[in-house]
Each structure stands twice: as C-alpha cells, then as structure tokens.
Amino acid sequence: MVSVIVQNLWKIYPPNVHALRDVNVEVKDGEFLVMLGPSGSGKTTFIRCIAGLETPTKGRIFFGDRLIVDIERGVNTPPAKRSVGMVFQNWALYPHMKVFDNIAFPLKIKKVPKHEIEKKVREIAEALDIADLLDRYPRQLSGGQQQRVAIARALVKEPQILLLDEPFSNLDARLRISAREFVKSLQRKLKITTILVTHDQHDAYALADRIMIINNGVIQQVGTTEEILNSPANTFVAQFFGDPPINLVEGEGRGEYVDLGDLKIPIMAPLGKLQIGIRPTDIYIAETPLSPEDLELPPGRVKLVEYLGFTPIAVVKWERTELRTVVYNRVKEGDLAKVYLKRDGIKLFKDGIRVR
C-alpha cells in the first residue's frame, strides 16, 4: 500500500466558494485516518479530490512517490488509473444487478478475463461473509449487507487506497457498532491506507489511528484521539470533539489564578481575558478527591442529573458559573455537592487558541 501526501490543496467553486483552503496532510502507509467535521466543512470534497472525482483549483497530491495531481504542471491522473476504491454514502448499488454483478462491475469495466472475475468476486465475497448473497438483488438485502457489497465492490480491484464517505449514515445505531467493528477488522487485516469521512465523532473514537478535524475548508488539527481530547488546538476543536461536550467559560487570567467571578482556580495563567475549557471527565462530584493533586472547588448546587450511557453527569451551579461534572457518589437535584477538579484537565484559550 502507499501513503497519501496532500500539499497546498485548494478547491474553489464559482463564483467564490472556498471548499478547501490550503490543505496539507500526510496519511501514512496503512493508516486509518478519520476526517471529521460539520456538514459543509469540505470533507467530501477532500476525498473526491483524492479519488479524482473533483479537480482541485490548485495544489499537489502524491500516492507514495507517485505524483497524482499537480495543477500548476497540468498533472491530473484519471480516476481509473489512481488505484482507489471508494464507498459512497448511499452505497450506490445498481438495483437491476445481482450482488455478483455489482461486485464484478469494476473488473468488467477493466475487461478482466471472465474466469478471473469469477475468482476475485468469490474471494472477496468469502472474505466479507456475503458469499451466500451473490445471487440476490440489492433490494433483498439488509442495510448492513448492502454496505458489505459496496465495500466488496471497492476492494475487488485491489486498490492501494480505500475512501469511505459517511458509510454508516444509513444504518441504525445498533448496526453502526457492528459495522464499525467489521470495517476496522477488515482494514487491519488488509493493511490498506484508508480515509473515512464522517460527522459522527463516535466513528472516530472507534476507528481512527489519527483524526483530522476540518472546518470551513481549513484543517483545524490532526492527531490521535488522546491528543485531540487532551490538547485541542483551539476552541472549535475543543467544542466539536468530545462527549459529553466540554465546559467552556469566560474568565480572567490573573497570573497565579484564573478568575471566573464566582470561582477562582489556582493555576498559572496569562493575564487578560481567557476562555477556560474543562471536560466533564476532568471535574467530578465525590466525597473525597481521587488524587491528592486534584483541586477542591467551593461546594456547588446540583441543578440537574442526567445519564450519558452508564455515566451520571451533573450540572453544578455556583453564583453564575455552571459546569457539567461526572458524579461518583449519590446526589440529587438541589443538593450542595463537593466538587473536585483535575489540575492537568484545565485548558486555557486566548482569542480561541490554546495557550495551556
């Protein structure tokens, strides 16, 4: 397989819509990169440029050492010669063709001999556990089965790169989990360089070696899940990535502490207006601190208790500050609770950029 290197990539649609703005990224050989961002952020445009379905306005794309796109030099390799497999959001299966013919279609286009098509289709169908479906039509399949057929069609031509555009969006919640597990195990087995586009951060948690977060066509941050959770580059990343959402409040840096008005947090901070980010997993209600390093805040009033999965989360209010916290002991609405804060869980932002 190969790496994918993107340099100074721009895509501008008439009259002046900037879908991608100076994108630079390297996807490593065999890596599973998840591209995450809100609707309209440029995610699909990016992978369509990789696949050759969109022509960039400027920039370069390499597959390993092979130059695929260089707009200034007039290089733009046709999609059929890029060795890329792509799975679309709606899977795009041909309803009038049986599963076998849907999978075989890319090989027929390449005029692969009939006996070789038969062999390759059956091999990939066995690998994806859909060999017993080859004689059915797409309408006779479940959503998960249709997804596997779409993946089989992308993989049957043995591409160097696999591109997945929101492949789980048409699946219900329970099926999404098994589909993610299947895709990750398949990617690990094949060691194929993979880029998955999604707006669902749970896809990123489950699948990514690294995550690329994009907004308004600009890469905000590339890193591992841990790096993006614990060291977000800016307030957009901090707010967009993380479940439950980060607490983000305004305050003043006073040198040796941060002043929230009704709360003062004793940490070193630059002077002036700041935004303070605290993930709910870094602040908690308990009878005693989990670590001697943790800071004890003044008691706060429990405004709301809710469950996210099996984790109880409380909204705690002081005079005007409200923070979501994890709950480690029994509390109910209206209680005055002891609240502790992990010192290394405090993130400080100045003008939207992380400074601590």
What's the chain's average pLDDT?
A: 94
Examine the pLDDT at 91 and tell me if it is beyond 90. no
Architecture of domain 247-354: Beta Barrel (2.40)
State the SS3 of 196-240: EEECCHHHHHHHCCEEEEEECCEEEEEECHHHHHHCCCEHHHHHH
pLDDT in tens, 11-62: 999 999 999 999 999 999 999 999 999 999 999 999 999 999 999 999 999 9
Please list, in sequence order, all residues whose beta carbon lies within 8 angstroms of the beta carbon of residue 168, skipping any fewer than 6 positions away.
147, 176, 179, 180, 198, 200, 203
pLDDT, one tens digit per residue, over 131-173 is: 999 999 999 999 889 999 999 999 998 899 999 998 888 788 8
Residue 27 contacts residue 34 (beta carbons within 8 Å): no
Residue 144 confidence (pLDDT): 87
CA 103 to CA 137: how far, in whole Å?
A: 12
Q: Is the pLDDT of residue 1 over 80?
A: no
Question: Alpha-carbon distance 83 to 152, whole Å?
Answer: 15
Percent of all residues in the chain with a pLDDT value above 90, rounded to a whole number: 86
**Could you report the per-residue pLDDT of 279-334, keeping only the tens digit for each?**
999 999 999 999 999 999 999 999 999 998 788 999 999 999 999 999 999 999 99
Q: Which residues contact 197 (CB under 8 A, 6 or more apart)?
A: 35, 43, 44, 46, 47, 163, 164, 165, 166
Do strands 193-198 and 161-165 pair parallel, antiparallel, or not at all (unpaired)?
parallel
DSSP 48-82: HHHHTSS--SEEEEEETTEEEEEGGGTEE--GGGS
List, by residue range, all CATH 2.40.50.140 domains of the chain. 247-354
Give the model's pLDDT for residue 129.
Answer: 86
Identify the CATH homologous superfamily for domain 4-240: P-loop containing nucleotide triphosphate hydrolases (3.40.50.300)
| Residue range 174-183: mean pLDDT, rounded | 85
**Whole-structure pTM value:** 0.91
Q: Are 154 and 186 in contact (CB under 8 A)?
A: no
Separation of alpha carbons 120 and 91, rounded Å? 20
- % of the chain surpassing 70 pLDDT: 100
* DSSP symbol at 168: T
Residues 6+ apart with CB under 8 A from 343: 267, 293, 294, 295
Q: For residue 354, is pLDDT > 80?
A: yes
Which residues share a beta bridge with 129? none
Q: How far apart are CA 109 and CA 117, in angstroms?
A: 11
Closest CA to 346 of 282, 291, 296, 288: 282
First to last CA, the chain: 38
Q: Report the SS3 class of residue 13.
A: strand
Residue 175 is predicted with a pLDDT of 80
CA dihedral (90, 94, 100, 104) in degrees, to 10, reads: -90
Give the torsion sign (CA, 200, 201, 205, 209).
positive
- Range(s) within the chain of domains with CATH label 3.40.50.300: 4-240
Report the pLDDT value the prediction gives residue 257, as an integer from 0 to 100: 95
What is the predicted pLDDT for the residue at 311? 86
**At which residue do the structure tokens 């308990």 appear?**
286
pLDDT at 92 exceeding the cut of 90? no
**H-state helical runs in 33-172:** 43-51, 99-109, 114-127, 143-155
* Cis preceding-peptide flag for 15 (omega within 30 of 0): yes
In the block, residue with structure tokens 């003062």: 264
pLDDT at residue number 22? 98
Amino acid 176: pLDDT: 84
Q: Count CA within 13 A, CB hemisphere, residue 301.
A: 8
pLDDT of residue 153: 93
